[in-house]
Amino acid sequence: MIEVEQLSKVYPGGVEAVAGIDFQVGPGEVFGLLGPNGAGKSTTIGVLTTTILPTGGTARVGGFDVVRQPLAARRVSSVVFQEPVVDRSLIGRRNLEIHASLWQVEPRAAKTRIAELTDALGIAALVDRPVSGYSGGERRRLELARALVSSPSVLFLDEPTVGLDPRIRQELLEIVGRLAEQAELTILLTTHYLDEAERLADRVAVMHEGRIVALDRPERLRRRLGRELVELKVRNDLGIALNALRERGIAGDDAFAIGSTLTIPLHDLTAHRAIDTINELGLASSISAREPTLDDVYVQLTGARLAAAA
Amino acid sequence: MTAITPLITLSQRRFELTARRPRELFVPLITPILFALVIAPALKVALHTGSAYESFVAVGTIGLLIPLTTMFSGLSVIVDRESAQRELLAAPVPRPFLVLGNLAVALAVTAFQVVALLGFALARGIDFHAGLAGLGWFLPAAVLFAVGMYGAAEALAGRVPRQEEYIARVPAIAIVPWFIAGALFPITALPSFLTWIARFLPLTHGLALMRYGLLGDSSGLHDIWGSGSSTSMALLSLAVVALFALVLTVGSIRVFNRTAVK
């Protein structure tokens, strides 16, 4: 449904936002594009939604080339943008009707679809009020309903939960989760919230400085770091501590550090044995063991903590 | 559903947004109506001119009304950029439709205002003696000039990032040419270098055509072209206004495409 080959975008002034990325998203798949601000996610979505022209490579949406067949590519897709993109002075229903008409949905079909979606997304009671009176969460649900009115094959969700309070964010994730279960809908989700990607995406690509540095199923990405890892606050010199742990066979080449915190993936070792050894060496002021997360994968790949970089 | 359906939808959307802000309809009317109904009669008395002068100025004020209205319409492009423009850009419609949809509503609003102005002027006793042939000159001149001015508004809105910067440029585009385009007095009354500049202004040609159509007065056309038949001079001026409309419309679509698609 989405095919991206050697896609690149260099903005005037020489800023390389996307540097030759490749990925494919199959029908019905939920694909997460992860990375901090400036990683190239929004530029990639911009190219796929034909609002940014690539400077190299190709991209196809629903089989249509986004440069040569932009109208056809737009016809099969919809977008929920990162920032509010609505006519605030119009009522919610009118926003939905305008989308339906621009996507050439027959008026009778549009009416039925709007009724179904507003019910399903819990906005039926407020859809006849001006959007200017909606809360952030209500507006987000309206934007989601609008994107779905035209029954797109491909749905782009560009950081859809940014700026929402935690409760509304959870509600919205549940809704997107239900959408993801629909076999006929392909979703490309960009986010810098790793839990969203883990929860929703079948596969994720981690972007860093315009490149894809990892692409796999979330659990397989986590498994790169073993079943468990230990995290220790190092008392003295980090390099000396790391060397000592390598000599004792605790740390491998994939150990990584942020500041004075050293993270050691444990592949064949148990956390118990690793902690005993670290204590024996007297290297750490604190130690903990836990399962790896996508954040660890990101730090290990890029040398920066995703949340901090975002 | 036809290929034109999205264009109608875009125009309807723009109209609904405009209708929710009635000030966009009525504020641009205030100054021209003041000119036509208060200042022109006062000048007539002060300068001891005849009733023909009131008619002259009434048509001249259309030359202020059209630029003001179309420039106000251009503000909506900047508002769109901060609201639903990205949704419209993601829609499967040719991008020039986004400009043309706005243009259709700008023309409708302008037409409403010109009719209101002429209605007020007639009610005040200002005399027009236009026949069908006269309207045949007046209408294309007014419409093409409005199309060109909207093109200027759309292009300007595409190039400036904020409303304040846009508004700061409006007087130079909408008001300054009005003073030298023969709205209040013939362009031959200006210093000769300004007369020459006025001959190149689309507004000068538009006003001369509108007066020829509504008042049967071809002196404005003679001031521009010198001697010749009134019809051929009117055709030449109409060609100038049509060229202005075409260039500005094509230019505004190009500016929109360049600024909307990075």
Mean of all residue pLDDT scores within chain A: 86
User: Is A304 a residue whose pLDDT tops 60?
Assistant: no
CA-based nearest residue in chain A for residue B257: A51
Q: Which two tokens stand for residue A186?
A: 């392909």
Asked if B193 and B234 touch (Cβ cutoff 8 Å), the reply is no
User: A95 pLDDT band (50/70/90 cuts)?
Assistant: very high
Residues 6+ apart with CB under 8 A from A20: A6, A7, A8, A56, A57, A211
Neighboring chain B residues of A72 at a CB cutoff of 8 Å: 92
HSE-up of residue B225 (Cα within 13 Å, Cβ side):
21
Q: Give the distance between the most distant pair of CA atoms in chain A.
A: 74
Interval A181-195 mean pLDDT? 82
Stated length of chain B: 262
Asked if A298 and A243 touch (Cβ cutoff 8 Å), the reply is no
d(CA B102, CA B118) in angstroms, rounded, equals: 24
What integer pLDDT is reported at residue B13 of this predicted model? 92
Neighboring chain A residues of B23 at a CB cutoff of 8 Å: none
Residues 6+ apart with CB under 8 A from B24: B18, B72, B73, B76, B109
Global pTM value:
0.82
Tens-digit pLDDT profile for residues B77-111: 888 887 888 899 999 999 999 999 999 999 998 99
CA-based nearest residue in chain B for residue A74: B92
In sequence order, which ranges of chain A are alpha helices (DSSP H)?
A: 41-48, 70-75, 92-102, 107-120, 136-149, 166-180, 194-200, 218-223, 238-247, 271-281, 294-302, 306-309
Tens-digit pLDDT profile for residues A221-247: 888 888 888 888 887 787 888 888 888
User: Is A283 a residue whose pLDDT tops 80?
Assistant: no
Cβ of A46 within 8 Å of Cβ of B93? The answer is: no
Cβ of B6 within 8 Å of Cβ of A11? The answer is: no
Sequence ranges of chain A with CATH classification 3.40.50.300: 2-221
What integer pLDDT is reported at residue B142 of this predicted model? 96
Nearest by CB to A79, from B20, B90, B93: name it. B90
Sequence ranges of chain A with CATH classification 3.30.70.260: 226-291
Among the four given CATH numbers 1.10.10.10, 3.40.50.1970, 3.30.70.260, 1.10.150.20, the one describing domain A226-291: 3.30.70.260
Distance from CA of A157 to the nearest CA of B (A): 13
Ranges under pLDDT 50 in chain B: none
Fold of the domain spanning A2-221: Rossmann fold (3.40.50)
User: A306 pLDDT band (50/70/90 cuts)?
Assistant: very low
Q: Is A102 on the interface with B (CB under 8 A)?
A: yes
Q: Which two tokens stand for residue A122?
A: 């819990």
Mutation target to probe the A interface, by most A beta carbons within 10 A, among B1, B11, B21, B87 is: B87
Cβ of A104 within 8 Å of Cβ of B87? The answer is: no
Neighboring chain A residues of B6 at a CB cutoff of 8 Å: 101-102, 104
Tens-digit pLDDT profile for residues B148-179: 999 999 999 988 888 889 999 989 998 899 99
